[in-house]
Amino acid sequence: MVEKTKAYIAGFLDGDGSIFLQLVRRKDYQLGYQIRASIVFFQKKKNDKILRWLKHKLRYGYLRNRKDGLSEYTIVGFRVVKGILNELEPYLLVKKYQAKLAIRIIDRIEKTPIVTTGFMLRIAKEVDKFGMLNNSKKRINDSKQLKKFFQSITFDPVSTEFLSIKKE
């Protein structure tokens, strides 16, 4: 992307978009939870042309029409979200710190050879911080919830036993 495109998209993301890192309950995952990275843009359905333009430029993600009359463009996945944030970060103003934090967390996840419960809990605490930056009202899945979940099942949350987890 050329500079003016990156600057425009950074401005649009600062004004109207969201960067999310979330802990998502997934019964099909070995550790019961997934860390989900996403970038989301909303517009009224009648303005969804801009979302199609963004998808054309950012190349990944999907558009959908929600029941409340909004159109939503969502990009999900560590590699793709990190790639986009790396491109936009120099131009971001409002969400610069969030973008840097997301990149750092994704880097840690990508670099770990094996995801243990201990690692997952450490990452979940970083994800909690992220949620606070986003002014999320209520985080149903936070690191405390994850810790309780780990305690309720067979393995010990503070151990570093080798438990692999499916990554996005």
- Which lies closer to its own copies via its Cβ, residue 50 or residue 121? 50
We find the least distance from the C-beta atom of residue 90 to its own copies, in angstroms, to be 9
- Which lies closer to its own copies via its Cβ, residue 10 or residue 102? 10
At 60, give phi and psi (nearest 5°). Answer: -120, 170
Residues that bind its own copies (CB under 8 A): 3-17, 43-44, 47, 49-50, 53, 91, 93-94, 135
**Coil, strand or helix at 120:** helix
Q: Over the range 63-92, which residues count as b (16 or more CB within 10 Å of their CB) and which as e?
A: eeeeeeeebbbbbbbbebbbbbbebbbebb
We find the least distance from the C-beta atom of residue 88 to its own copies, in angstroms, to be 10
We find the least distance from the C-beta atom of residue 14 to its own copies, in angstroms, to be 6
**Structure-block tokens of residue 144:** 């405390």
- Which lies closer to its own copies via its Cβ, residue 14 or residue 168? 14
